[in-house]
Amino acid sequence: MNVHGTYLFHAPRERVFAAICDPETLMAVIPGCRDVHLGASGDYEGTVSLRLPGAVGTYRTSVRMVDVVAPERSSLDGRLEGQMGSISGHATFVLDEERAATRIDYQGNAVIQGPLARLDSRFAERFAETLIGQGLKALDARLQTEVSA
Amino acid sequence: MSEETLSVVGQSVARSDGLGHVTGRDIYTFDRTFPGMLHLKIVRSPVHHARLRGVDLSEAEKVPGFVRALSAADVPHNVYTILGLIGVEPEEEFLLTPVGERVRYKGEPIIAIAADTEAAAIDAVAKVRLDLEELPAVLDMDDALAPGAPVVTHWGNNTFMYEGHNCRRVRFGDVDAAFAKADYIVEGEYRTSPIEQAPVETTGCIAVPAENGRYTVYTNTQALYFSLDNTSIILQVPGNQLHFIGGMVGGGFGGKVDVIVEPLATLAAMKTGRPVRYVFTRQEEMQVSSTRASETIRIKDGVMADGRIVARKVVNLFDCGAYSRQTPYSITKFAANAAGPYFIPNVYVDAYCVYTNRTPSSAMRGFGITMASFALEVQMDKIAEKLGIDPWTLHFINAYHNGDIKPHRKVVEDATLIETMQAAAELVGHELAPELKRMTSAPRSTEGGR
Amino acid sequence: MASVIVNLEVSGRAVEIIAAPLTTLQSVLRNQLGMTSVKEGCRQGGCGSCTVLVDGEPMMSCLLPVEDVAGRKITTVEALSTPDHLDPIQRAFLDNNGYQCGYCTPGMEMIAKALLEHNPSPTRDEIVDALAGNICRCTGYQPIIDAIAAAASAGQEATR
Amino acid sequence: MTIANYYRPGSVSEALDILAAHGADLLVIAGGTIAMPLINEGISLPAEVMGLRRAGLDTYTRRGDEVILGATLPITRLVEQTDVPMLRAAALRTASWSVRNMATVGGNLFAPPPAGDIAAALLALGATATITGRSGTREVALDDFWTGFMTTVVAPDELLTSISVPVTSAATSFIKFGRKRDNTPAVVTVAVTANLDNGIVRGARIALGAAGPHAIRASNAEAAVHGQPLSASVIAAAADAAAAECEPFTDAVATDAYRRQMVRLFVARALTQLDASASTQGREA
């Protein structure tokens, strides 16, 4: 599975970078993600619930930040695992300043295993991009709130 | 024999299987059931190309109803090639991919699981964990032939080898000399896509342990003895221990010629002592069962102003996917027919069987020929257009006659193209020129030659 | 997993079955009741070879949990004929070679049955519309359409 | 595929209780035509499933100037009704007879694109979804129903219970373009409603199916026709606007580029037909 996208944050690059390098913040904005905590392995762990017909259920998820180059780029390794199979992947975020805003370009690839792998790959990619887009939008809203607070 | 004494020819005869079909009483393969029958489901590669580093069955084995998992180690002769029966080499395809080896297409079988119910088999398959090292995949033929491409096969390049050559070759006459003398050169490139045969009944079989150590296998194969003999080789059991029962097939179109389900189902029946049902789901049928090969056909023709095609050079790439299956044979058929039903005195054919990380391709209705006919006939129209000649006339000028030699050195004995075109013209109400109407397929010498 | 007991009427016969939750009507008909005229072609609602009538309405039995048709009347091809009498639709399929491999035939006949019950004299277009969910890979459909048109004419003759 | 329970609630409140008890792990089905194929294939492995066939949501009600469609109303019932002709046209182009007898109107709003032809028609008609939770019901215009690909405003503890559709005297046109005529996924679906006031367009709603993450409005195209006569140049401008603003995707049916071209072609054709349907209405009136 390959996903990519762009999102424009209405916040300075340093603040956006800090937010996306904080797995706890990042995971909190993933739609349906809850119980986020720092696990024994040093990874951030949580659970995600999906209501997609082909993938309904609860998934354990974990995220680890790797290759952090402040404030322009960071990468993470992530894993989602449940009854329906697993998704293990790597994503890279590149941050560029655009006047007062910050543009994020992300690119990720993942190996899907189990029944999930039998979903149409384009379907899975579109759904993943939707969740990432909604997560980034929520993160942006959160940063806005913090600014105004 | 006079016509009056014929009792069937010329008569409308009721099909013997009609009543069974319209009453729904026919027994197709999956309509059978047996006490204690197990259901076989397959753990397949989720990616196009990867090295299998490990398999973890521990969670799968805990699923209620799980009976047995089969892996590469259970298969007596795990590497096979379907056409090995007629001497095609090398053996290349795993029945189940061993740890340490590569999976070469998305959907390639790795582990087979037999369980008491279909639901339990599905659950157990979902719980198998694979450790895969994903490798770069090549999905396009031109890419696969380019230097530095990921290598699909185990012998180091991405082509099937024909007697020491990397393509099936035909050399007849001297095309380069003929091109030099030709009035016109007409070139064309034709591409076709893979096509799934999509029979309404999916591929499958049921293997049942019988008395005296034999196994009865009910299968909807289109090639019963291919299946039996390959099963015998893969499982290393004498053919007389295998009793294959076929016949009732819910559509095939070439999609049920490969030997895919019987060896695994029979192996599972041997290992468990129980009847085993292995039936493709619709998704498996569409994704895993072999398709018609996609082809890229490049044609260069040398043509005289009077319409005679005097030279043809064809390079054809056949995408066999990850394994060759029936494609080498398909290509040989293509190479023999690259001139079509026409007499061309100088012909040069290079037909490549190209490996990619796609689902293997294999047989489908007229394979090797159908797509060639498409390309050759569009090419005929292009020539007619280029020469400003009537397409009917062009076909008659070039039609082969009995006694002509085809590029693969076959002497034509059964030519009927001219007569067929004359009949076709009449059917569609096309008035042929008198000299075309007079032509026959008789040997050229009787007409004074060319 | 608690199995459930379901009562229904299948081709004129009252039956009581025990099934695991969400078992399909197709599975019950084939595996428990031996009605193998109900074919398995895709189990995705895409091929129509499992078409049965539920209270006279065509449905894909592969997508229908058997619990959802408790108390309903199910008709399969087995109900159409007796050993010495074919339904006019079956007769017409036979006479017009409205089959080749035969795998889609029971589903085709059930959709034809439903069509002629709703519309005894369909146009050729209406026949084509009705067949939209039933896939045949052998015939190219023409003999099937001919068969249904012939069955409709035969029905019109009979009522005249 | 080993399913522990298949709940079949007899009412909406019972359904909401079951939903509350199981949360996100409960798979909710109605006609089963989206979820059952995945379960049969072994792609979806839910432990708990709730079916809504008995929940009393398969109703069709004409109330004044609107029609209330129960969420689990089989699509066949849209073929049989005459209150909203566009819904009949959309239903006839959706799946096959046997599937329409099972698939539901509400389910169509959750169908993965390119499915969702009825959703496009409902969006053009200005329909409103009624969503019910244990704390009450709320109404959401379909314009605000989807939040992204396969995601909606329906919360995990809520159910879509009905859809209300205004009965309109506006001119309408509906075109589904697929690779064959029937029982086929859309390359693109175009649904248009508009009032024509002496040939001048007022309040057009142009909805596109299979041209975005869900059924979408082509608002720039709507603006291009608003207050204008349906002349060739106005139609061409609207078609260009729709082609520019749609968000087509590539799948086994069509590429995104081809879909964009077909949006242009079929928005133009739908607007042309709209004119024809309006003049027919005029003659009948």
Cα–Cα dist D39/D52, whole Å: 17
Q: Where are the domains of chain D?
A: 5-51, 60-166, 171-284
Contacts with C1 from chain D: Cβ below 8 Å? 2-4
Contacts with B19 from chain C: Cβ below 8 Å? 94
Find residues 8-47 of chain B whose CB sits inside 8 Å of chain A. Answer: 46-47
In this predicted structure, the answer to whether residue C55 has a pLDDT above a threshold of 70 is yes
Instruction: Look at the domain D5-51 and name its fold.
Output: 3.30.43
**B132 interfaces chain A, CB cutoff of 8 Å:** yes
ipTM for the assembly: 0.92
- Give the pLDDT band (50/70/90) at residue D281: very low
Domain C4-79 class, CATH top level: alpha beta
**B282 interfaces chain D, CB cutoff of 8 Å:** yes
Measure in Å the smallest separation between the Cα of B284 and chain A Cα atoms.
10
HSE at residue B365, side-chain half, CA atoms within 13 A, is 13
| Optimal mutation site among C5, C6, C22, interface D, most CBs of chain D within 10 A | C22
Residue from the list D4, D37, D49 with its beta carbon closest to the beta carbon of C63: D37
Measure in Å the smallest separation between the Cα of C152 and chain D Cα atoms.
19
**Per-residue model confidence as pLDDT tens digits over D40-54:** 999 888 889 999 999
Cβ-based interface (< 8 Å): residues of B facing C:
14-15, 17-28, 30-31, 33, 119, 197-202, 249-253, 279, 281-282
Q: Is B168:B332 a contact under the CB 8 Å cutoff? A: yes
Cα–Cα dist B69/B112, whole Å: 6
Task: List the beta bridge partners of residue B366.
Answer: none
DSSP state of C57: E
CA A99 to chain centroid, in Å, comes to: 25
Q: Is the Cα dihedral C112, C116, C119, C123 positive or negative? A: positive
- Largest Cα separation within chain C, whole Å, is 56
Q: Is B188 exposed, middle or buried (0-12, 13-18, 19+ CB in 10 A)?
A: middle
Instruction: Look at the domain D171-284 and name its fold.
Output: Enolase-like; domain 1 (3.30.390)
| Optimal mutation site among D7, D93, D96, interface C, most CBs of chain C within 10 A | D96
* Residue C60 neighbours by CB distance under 10 Å: 33
Q: Supply D79's token pair.
A: 């073929």
CA distances to B203, B280, D58 from B106, in Å = 18, 15, 42
| 8 Å CB contact of C2 and D95 | no
* DSSP codes, A91-106: EEEEEEEETTEEEEEE
Instruction: Please choose, from the candidates B303, B305, B299, B230, the residue with its C-alpha nearest in 3D space to the C-alpha of residue B267.
Output: B230
* Residue B229 neighbours by CB distance under 10 Å: 18
**C33 interfaces chain B, CB cutoff of 8 Å:** no
* Residue numbers in chain B where pLDDT is lower than 70: 1-4, 446-450
Instruction: Please choose, from the candidates D168, D64, D154, the residue with its C-alpha nearest in 3D space to the C-alpha of residue D121.
Output: D168
Chains A and C touch (3+ CB pairs under 8 A): no
Contacts with B126 from chain A: Cβ below 8 Å? 83-85, 114-115
Confidence at residue D284, expressed as pLDDT on a 0 to 100 scale:
35
Q: Is B305 exposed, middle or buried (0-12, 13-18, 19+ CB in 10 A)?
A: exposed
Cα–Cα dist D178/D114, whole Å: 10
* Residue C80 neighbours by CB distance under 10 Å: 22
Q: Is B197:B292 a contact under the CB 8 Å cutoff? A: yes
Cα–Cα dist D119/D248, whole Å: 16
In this predicted structure, the answer to whether residue A124 has a pLDDT above a threshold of 90 is no
**Per-residue model confidence as pLDDT tens digits over D161-195:** 999 999 988 999 999 999 998 999 999 999 999 99
H/E stretch holding C92 reads helix C88-95
- Largest Cα separation within chain D, whole Å, is 62
| 8 Å CB contact of C20 and D41 | no
- D95 backbone φψ class: left, alpha, beta (φ>0; ψ -120 to 50): left
CA distances to C6, C42, D44, D48 from C21, in Å = 11, 21, 15, 9
User: Cβ contacts of residue B8 below 8 Å, gap of 6+?
Assistant: none
* DSSP codes, C126-151: HHHHHGGG---SSS-SHHHHHHHHHH
- Residue C18, helix vs strand vs coil: strand
E-assigned strand segments in B15-95: 38-44, 50-56, 66-70, 79-80, 93-94
Q: Is D128 exposed, middle or buried (0-12, 13-18, 19+ CB in 10 A)?
A: buried
| 8 Å CB contact of B283 and A84 | no
Q: Which domain holds residue A50?
A: 2-148
| 8 Å CB contact of A133 and D213 | no
**D43 interfaces chain B, CB cutoff of 8 Å:** yes
Q: Supply D125's token pair.
A: 């008609």
HSE at residue B264, side-chain half, CA atoms within 13 A, is 30
- pTM reported for the whole predicted model: 0.93
DSSP state of B121: H
In this predicted structure, the answer to whether residue A144 has a pLDDT above a threshold of 90 is no
Residue from the list C39, C77, C104 with its beta carbon closest to the beta carbon of B23: C77
| 8 Å CB contact of C24 and D36 | yes
| B110 or A24, which is more confident | B110
- Give the pLDDT band (50/70/90) at residue D285: very low
Confidence at residue D275, expressed as pLDDT on a 0 to 100 scale:
64
- Residue B36, helix vs strand vs coil: coil
* DSSP codes, A25-92: HHHHTSTTEEEEEE-TTS-EEEEEEE--TTT-EEEEEEEEEEEEETTTEEEEEEEEEETTEEEEEEEE
Find residues 20-79 of chain D whose CB sits inside 8 Å of chain C. Answer: 31-33, 36-37, 39-41, 49, 51, 53-54, 76
HSE at residue C67, side-chain half, CA atoms within 13 A, is 22
- D5-7 β-sheet, strand order: D5-7, D48-51, D26-29
Chains that touch D (3 or more CB pairs under 8 A): A, B, C
- Give the pLDDT band (50/70/90) at residue A134: confident
Contacts with D23 from chain A: Cβ below 8 Å? 49
Percentage of chain A lying above the pLDDT 90 cut: 18
Q: What is the CATH number of the domain that holds A127?
A: 3.30.530.20
Measure in Å the smallest separation between the Cα of A83 and chain D Cα atoms.
7
Instruction: Please choose, from the candidates D148, D149, D126, the residue with its C-alpha nearest in 3D space to the C-alpha of residue D207.
Output: D126
Nearest-10 crossing angle of helices A121-148, A13-20: 120
Kindly report which listed range (A86-90, B432-436, D99-103) carries the lowest average pLDDT score.
Answer: A86-90
Q: Is D224 exposed, middle or buried (0-12, 13-18, 19+ CB in 10 A)?
A: buried
CA distances to B40, B175, B271 from B214, in Å = 20, 57, 13
- Give the pLDDT band (50/70/90) at residue D279: low
| 8 Å CB contact of C41 and B17 | no
| 8 Å CB contact of B250 and C97 | no
Q: Give the number of A-D residue pairs with CB atoms closer than 8 Å.
A: 70
DSSP state of A116: G
**D148 interfaces chain B, CB cutoff of 8 Å:** no
Cα–Cα dist A53/D43, whole Å: 10
**Region A67-90: what's the mean pLDDT?**
88
**D155 interfaces chain B, CB cutoff of 8 Å:** no
The residue of chain B with its CA nearest to that of D45 is B123
**Per-residue model confidence as pLDDT tens digits over C73-107:** 999 999 999 989 999 999 999 999 999 999 999 99
Measure in Å the smallest separation between the Cα of D252 and chain A Cα atoms.
9
In this predicted structure, the answer to whether residue A37 has a pLDDT above a threshold of 90 is no
| 8 Å CB contact of B120 and D43 | no
Confidence at residue D282, expressed as pLDDT on a 0 to 100 scale:
38
Compute the radius of gyration of chain B from its Cα atoms. Answer: 26
* Residue C102 neighbours by CB distance under 10 Å: 25
The residue of chain D with its CA nearest to that of A33 is D24
Instruction: Report whether the peptide linkage leading into residue B90 is cis, meaning its omega lies within 30 degrees of zero.
Output: yes
| Optimal mutation site among D149, D154, D253, interface A, most CBs of chain A within 10 A | D149
Measure in Å the smallest separation between the Cα of B118 and chain D Cα atoms.
9
Q: Where are the domains of chain C?
A: 4-79, 88-159
Compute the radius of gyration of chain A from its Cα atoms. Answer: 15
**D254 interfaces chain A, CB cutoff of 8 Å:** no
Number of domains chain A contains: 1
Cβ-based interface (< 8 Å): residues of C facing D:
1-2, 4, 20-22, 24, 42-46, 48, 51, 54, 57-60, 62-65, 67-68, 111, 114, 128-130, 132-134
Contacts with C20 from chain B: Cβ below 8 Å? 119
The residue of chain C with its CA nearest to that of B201 is C41
Q: Judge whether C4-79 and C88-159 match in fold.
A: no
Q: Is A7:A140 a contact under the CB 8 Å cutoff? A: yes
Q: Is D116:D249 a contact under the CB 8 Å cutoff? A: no
The CATH code of domain D60-166 reads 3.30.465.10
| 8 Å CB contact of B199 and C103 | yes
User: Cβ contacts of residue C92 below 8 Å, gap of 6+?
Assistant: C98, C147, C148, C150, C151, C154
Contacts with A117 from chain B: Cβ below 8 Å? 46
**Region C42-70: what's the mean pLDDT?**
97
Measure in Å the smallest separation between the Cα of D97 and chain C Cα atoms.
6
Contacts with B116 from chain D: Cβ below 8 Å? none
Q: Does CATH number 1.10.3720.10 belong to domain C88-159?
A: no
Instruction: Report whether the peptide linkage leading into residue A71 is cis, meaning its omega lies within 30 degrees of zero.
Output: yes
CA distances to C57, C63, D29 from C68, in Å = 14, 11, 12
Confidence at residue C156, expressed as pLDDT on a 0 to 100 scale:
81
Q: Is B285:B203 a contact under the CB 8 Å cutoff? A: yes
